[in-house]
Chains A and B, each alone.
Chain A
Amino acid sequence: MTRQERAAWLFCAPVLAIIALVFVLPTALAMALSVTDYSVYALGDWQNLRFVGLGNFVDLLSTPLFWRALGNTLMFAGLGVPMAIGTSLAVALLLHDTTVRWKPLWRVLLFAPYVTSVVATAVVWRFLFNERFGLLNRALGAIGLPPVDWLGNPHTSIPAILLFVTWKTFGYNMIVFTAALSAVPQDLMEAARLDGAGSWRRFRHVTLPAIGPTLLLAAVMSIAGFLQIFAEPYVMTMGGPAQSTTTVLFFMFEEGFKWWNLGQASAVAFILFLMILAITLVQTRIGRRYEWL
């Protein structure tokens, strides 16, 4: 080992040690927990702890609420990712237009929700969604539509929460896309225009390939984020109505921290980890094929 390498290891050592202590070790312990039946009884007396192998996983697969939570989470991700990324991209394109004035002001205003507190804004949105007094239903009433019980109806609760999540998070990707758009070469754009390409074809064949890698990154981050959605349903609906907004992470939280079935909860965490890993691998494959990575 050269002197330089030694110095490099020395400088990295503190960070590596912290990562090992607060990330690798807890992850390993959680994996170990997931093959035990650690519960509140074991908290009282270690004698009550048993090794159950894959028992927790088998149990989970026969728990209706777990499947329900999985379905709800996939629904959140399936609807939420296109909604959030689509909004971000659309707004970024609008802001990128040369005719828009006061761009910095718009960027700040549209980015602001992202840095506000989830709990505070969720409470405000709960008022907006209120069936009797909510602003949203007032607006529907003004155009002659009947009121919707947004958060109280199992069929509208996920879309309602997604509206809030989209509003809350689109600002981040919007800024990322704005940066990517400014890197799209202008000469290519002009060449395409001279060749007679309309605005859609210019977007499809010039802008999109140029921002492809950014789009992939945004998709990976968004999917990972939506699969771990927790705070919004926790604050807005507490998993209801009729458990229609209970997500995998919410299920894990209730099992683990509320009822102390940490064995079961660790198994859920492990499954979620595998899911996110698998989806990210697929996305990376897609990225490689289009030479974005």
Chain B
Amino acid sequence: MDATGWTRRAVLGSLPALGLAACARGGDDPLRMWAMSWEGDYSPLLMPPFTAATGVPVEVQSLPTTASHEKLLIATAGGALPDVFMLFNGWVTEFATIGAIAPVPAPGLVADIFPGVLASTRVGGRDYAVPWSVAPQVNFYRRDLLAAIGYDAPPGDWDDLRAMALKLKRRRPDDYVFLMLLNWPTALVNILSLAGATPLRDRNTRGNFRTAEARQAFAYYASLFADGLAPKALSTEVQDPVAAFAQGYFAIWPSGPTTLRDLAQRGVPPERWSTARCAGPDGPGPLSGQSASLCVSATTRRPAEAWALVRHLTSIDSELHFQRAIGNLPARVRAWASPQMKKPVLRPFAEQMRFPSPDPKVIEWEQIQIQIQFAAERVVRGLQTIPQALADLDERVDRLLAKRRSLVEAGKLA
């Protein structure tokens, strides 16, 4: 043993103790927050004023959107949820049902929010999340490509839109008109909504797809692929849709406000593109405007600070800051009066928000949307006819809802 008395064994032996010491560190621990998408990457931008005012630092972790649902569920089961986290509105019912999130403590937090959006975060008459943004889909379109065939904007009803698309396809036979990824359900769910289809029946316990509206929606969707107006591609194949849009691989892209940020970041010149409301069978119609909300974990040890953070992040100032930074649209109605919301590309979003369509409030809605898309993919790839696919879809959705059905029938679930 040398003079200092340190041996290798002593040093190694003290390592666990150091680890324990690190865990026991207390005092000014940062509040932990998880968020997905651009919100996850850019939330730290909103933190300096909060930390300056309260002295509480915030540590934001950005989750990949496609893996966020499982990560949040596992964190719930493992008791490892952060103090504050973002949920897509469709997940709020689920996380409230499993007791992962705390009810909103003060009605002021959810004042002045789009009513249709707020309804999606209300479970059993209580608010469980503060909506952070709204995200109706619109058609992003290439102004130059449409101008070349004599259109200022894509028409608002299906027949005119198809006529325009066929004209564009004749002019550019190697490219496409629409991009609707075959494993991404939002475009089709919106088409169903525009066609007036009600996806579930019997108190949301059974599928309701063998209807005239659903058939009409599926037929329209499939025809766009059959006529070569949309590529039969998965998200794994179109690795960079923004670049493809800039190159003119397709001219019309049904997408949400995050695309505003994508186009700006990638330097697509603003005079080359614009937005228009999505087309419906007889002109634009109601669409779900749901996006994301902020929640506070039911197990947080610092609820007051957590709700203060939610209040700060969902303030009109923060929402407008986010609008400039990442394109997110404010969930608070009064924020829309700001001059920055008057840009022409935002107008279709503002109009669409006046025609909301509610999503079914069942835990299984996410899975059901995926099944809807599988059914459509089978039709598009010629593996099934529309009536077969819709009958199959009803059966699969009934199967998904079996547990819910038994709970509803037993009176355990409203």
Q: Are the C-beta atoms of A43 and B182 separated by less than 8 Å?
A: no
Provide the residues of chain A in CB contact with B272, threshold 8 Å.
none
Q: Which of A95-138 contact B (CB under 8 A)?
A: 126-127, 130-131
Q: Which residue on B lies nearest to A243, using beta carbons?
A: B374
Q: Are the C-beta atoms of A40 and B236 separated by less than 8 Å?
A: no
Q: Which of A53-85 contact B (CB under 8 A)?
A: 63
Q: Are the C-beta atoms of A39 and B377 separated by less than 8 Å?
A: no
Provide the residues of chain A in CB contact with B377, threshold 8 Å.
240-242
Q: Are the C-beta atoms of B383 and A242 separated by less than 8 Å?
A: yes
Q: Are the C-beta atoms of B234 and A237 separated by less than 8 Å?
A: yes
Nearest-neighbour CB distance to chain B for A22, whole angstroms, equals: 16
Provide the residues of chain B in CB contact with A127, threshold 8 Å.
239
A152 at the interface (CB under 8 A from B): yes
A37, A43, A126, A149 — most chain B CB neighbours (10 Å): A43
Residue of A40, A63, A151, A240 near B363 (CB, 8 A) is A40
Q: Are the C-beta atoms of B73 and A257 separated by less than 8 Å?
A: yes
Residue of B234, B235, B367, B383 near A259 (CB, 8 A) is B367
A23 at the interface (CB under 8 A from B): no
Provide the residues of chain A in CB contact with B363, threshold 8 Å.
40-41
Nearest-neighbour CB distance to chain B for A194, whole angstroms, equals: 57
Q: Which of A197-221 contact B (CB under 8 A)?
A: none
B262 at the interface (CB under 8 A from A): no
Nearest-neighbour CB distance to chain A for B230, whole angstroms, equals: 13
A259 to B232, CA, bound (A): 27
Q: Are the C-beta atoms of B234 and A40 separated by less than 8 Å?
A: no
A152 to B99, CA, bound (A): 40
Q: Are the C-beta atoms of B403 and A41 separated by less than 8 Å?
A: yes
Q: Are the C-beta atoms of A40 and B99 separated by less than 8 Å?
A: no
User: Would you give the 0/1 interface string for A225-242, flagging 1 where the beta carbon is closer than 8 Å to chain B?
Assistant: 000000000001110111
Provide the residues of chain B in CB contact with A6, threshold 8 Å.
none
Q: Which of B361-414 contact A (CB under 8 A)?
A: 363, 367, 374, 377-378, 381, 383, 399, 403-404, 407, 412
Nearest-neighbour CB distance to chain A for B242, whole angstroms, equals: 16
A39 to B377, CA, bound (A): 28
Knowing A48-B412, A127-B239 are in contact, say whether A152-B233 is a contact too (CB < 8 A): yes
Interface size class for chain A?
20 to 34
A241 to B232, CA, bound (A): 10
B94 at the interface (CB under 8 A from A): yes
User: Would you give the 0/1 interface string for A260-274, flagging 1 where the beta carbon is closer than 8 Å to chain B?
Assistant: 100000000000000
A147 at the interface (CB under 8 A from B): no
Provide the residues of chain A in CB contact with B69, threshold 8 Å.
258
Q: Are the C-beta atoms of B239 and A238 separated by less than 8 Å?
A: no
Q: Which residue on B lies nearest to A154, using beta carbons?
A: B381
Q: Which residue on A lies nearest to B378, using beta carbons?
A: A242
A144 at the interface (CB under 8 A from B): no
Give the B interface residue count (CB, 8 A).
31
Q: Are the C-beta atoms of B239 and A126 separated by less than 8 Å?
A: yes
Nearest-neighbour CB distance to chain B for A109, whole angstroms, equals: 28
Q: Are the C-beta atoms of B70 and A257 separated by less than 8 Å?
A: yes
B98 at the interface (CB under 8 A from A): yes
Knowing A41-B97, A258-B69 are in contact, say whether A242-B381 is a contact too (CB < 8 A): yes
A44 at the interface (CB under 8 A from B): yes
Nearest-neighbour CB distance to chain A for B84, whole angstroms, equals: 21
A83 to B367, CA, bound (A): 36
Q: Which residue on A lies nearest to B364, using beta carbons?
A: A259
Provide the residues of chain A in CB contact with B403, threshold 8 Å.
37, 39, 41
A74 to B98, CA, bound (A): 37
Q: Are the C-beta atoms of B70 and A240 separated by less than 8 Å?
A: no
Q: Are the C-beta atoms of B367 and A151 separated by less than 8 Å?
A: no
Provide the residues of chain B in CB contact with A154, threshold 8 Å.
381, 383
Residue of A45, A47, A151, A242 near B237 (CB, 8 A) is A151
Nearest-neighbour CB distance to chain B for A60, whole angstroms, equals: 12
Provide the residues of chain B in CB contact with A237, threshold 8 Å.
234, 236
A149 to B182, CA, bound (A): 14
Q: Which residue on B lies nearest to A236, using beta carbons?
A: B236
Provide the residues of chain B in CB contact with A43, threshold 8 Å.
73, 76-77, 98
Q: Are the C-beta atoms of B234 and A241 separated by less than 8 Å?
A: yes
Q: Are the C-beta atoms of A40 and B237 separated by less than 8 Å?
A: no
Q: Which of A123-170 contact B (CB under 8 A)?
A: 126-127, 130-131, 149, 151-152, 154
User: Would you give the 0/1 interface string for B224-263, flagging 1 where the beta carbon is closer than 8 Å to chain A?
Assistant: 0000000011111101000000000000000000000000
Provide the residues of chain B in CB contact with A238, threshold 8 Å.
183, 234-236
Knowing A152-B233, A240-B183 are in contact, say whether A40-B70 is a contact too (CB < 8 A): no
Provide the residues of chain A in CB contact with B99, threshold 8 Å.
44-45
Q: Are the C-beta atoms of B98 and A241 separated by less than 8 Å?
A: no
A131 to B76, CA, bound (A): 41
Q: Are the C-beta atoms of B70 and A258 separated by less than 8 Å?
A: yes
Provide the residues of chain B in CB contact with A242, threshold 8 Å.
374, 377-378, 381, 383
Q: Which residue on A lies nearest to B383, using beta carbons?
A: A242
Knowing A43-B76, A260-B73 are in contact, say whether A151-B98 is a contact too (CB < 8 A): no
Nearest-neighbour CB distance to chain B for A136, whole angstroms, equals: 14
A131 to B236, CA, bound (A): 12
- Since A40-B73, A41-B407, A240-B182 are in contact, a sample of 10 more A-B pairs with Cβ atoms closer than 8 Å, ordered by chain A residue number, is A39-B403, A41-B403, A126-B236, A237-B234, A240-B183, A240-B234, A241-B182, A241-B381, A242-B374, A242-B378
8 A-B pairs closest in CB distance: A44-B98, A257-B70, A43-B98, A44-B97, A258-B70, A240-B234, A240-B183, A152-B237
- List 16 interface pairs A-B (beta carbons < 8 Å), by A numbering: A37-B403, A40-B94, A40-B98, A47-B412, A48-B407, A48-B412, A63-B399, A130-B239, A149-B237, A151-B234, A151-B237, A152-B237, A154-B383, A242-B378, A258-B69, A258-B70
